[in-house]
Every structure is written in structure tokens, then in C-alpha cells.
Amino acid sequence: MLTAAEWTRAQLAAAGALPPGDPAEPELPMRNPFTRKYWNLTEQMRVRKQEPERAARLKLEAWEKEG
């Protein structure tokens, strides 16, 4: 079974949207679970538990943008 990232990369490669031989994963837009638009408590708790530094950065970014 393919992951979402693998499927996306395959689709981009098939469409010729990736440079030839580019080993890097494509950067997909990230949704910040701390913003009003993408508010998601489950994702907030997952990020806080698994990546506390990233969670703090995302929370600060959301607060700076939205007040």
C-alpha cells in the first residue's frame, strides 16, 4: 500500500512536475492545527507529544498571525 506522500510523488513525477533525478520529497502545504482555519485538537495533541518543539513553533506562528 502506498502512503499519501508516495502517491503524490508518483503523480507529480508522472506529470513531469519533478526535476529529473530529484531525490527530495515534494513539499506539500502544511496545515497548522493551531490556526482558526485548521483547528484540530487531536492533531495538536499528537504534535505536542511527538514533536514538542515543532508544536511550540506552530502555536506561536498561529498566535502571531491571528492574535
Give per-residue pLDDT as tens, 25-62: 555 567 899 999 999 999 999 999 999 999 999 999 99
In a domain? residue 21: no
Angle at CA of residue 33, ends 38 and 10, nearest 5°: 85
Domain that holds residue 57: 31-67
In a domain? residue 54: yes
Helices (H), the chain: 4-14, 41-50, 52-66
Structural domain tally of the chain?
1
The pLDDT value recorded for residue 49 is 95
Cell of 15: 506529470
pTM for this prediction: 0.56
